Amino acid sequence: MTDLPAPIEFLYELWDANWDDGPLGNYKILQHPITKKTAERIHFTLMGRPGFVDRKRIEADGEIYHRRFRSLLYLAPPEIPTRTEPASLQALRQAMADAHPDRGGTAAEFIAARKRYEQARRNA
């Protein structure tokens, strides 16, 4: 009977590959191997350097900020955030027309749609 090695556990970090030059949002999930668990701490390595986090806090919250590494670490792989593209002026203008009371919309819907359109037009 062969002894199988214990599966490697990780702490995870959401890292933006373009943090220093370019648009944000090119995310990668980095894995940092856990080297030891005690009742109080979880020990891990990050880029070959040892570190530890408070086990009770990370297990309670699912995440913890590590000041030395300046990283937010997670127990489970985090979801990669997505950015929604702003609506085009043409789409906002069409939404405003569709919300008009003469086309079956309400005054409140039309006013809200017009505010969104005017705000986008000012920012364009």
Burial class of residue 113 (count of CB atoms within 10 Å of its CB; 0-12, 13-18, 19+): buried
What is the rounded CA–CA span in Å between residue 35 and residue 103? 64
* pLDDT of res. 76: 94
pLDDT of residue 65: 95
Q: Domain-by-domain residue ranges, the chain?
A: 10-74, 89-123
Distance CA 70, CA 75 (A): 16
Check: pTM over 0.75? Answer yes or no: no
Digit-by-digit pLDDT tens for the chain (124 residues) are 556 566 679 999 998 877 666 556 678 899 999 999 999 999 999 989 999 999 999 999 999 999 999 999 999 999 988 766 777 889 899 999 999 999 988 999 999 999 989 988 888 7
Q: 14-50 in b/e burial notation, b at 16+ Cβ within 10 A?
A: beeeeeeeeeeeebeeeebebeeeeeeebbbebeeee
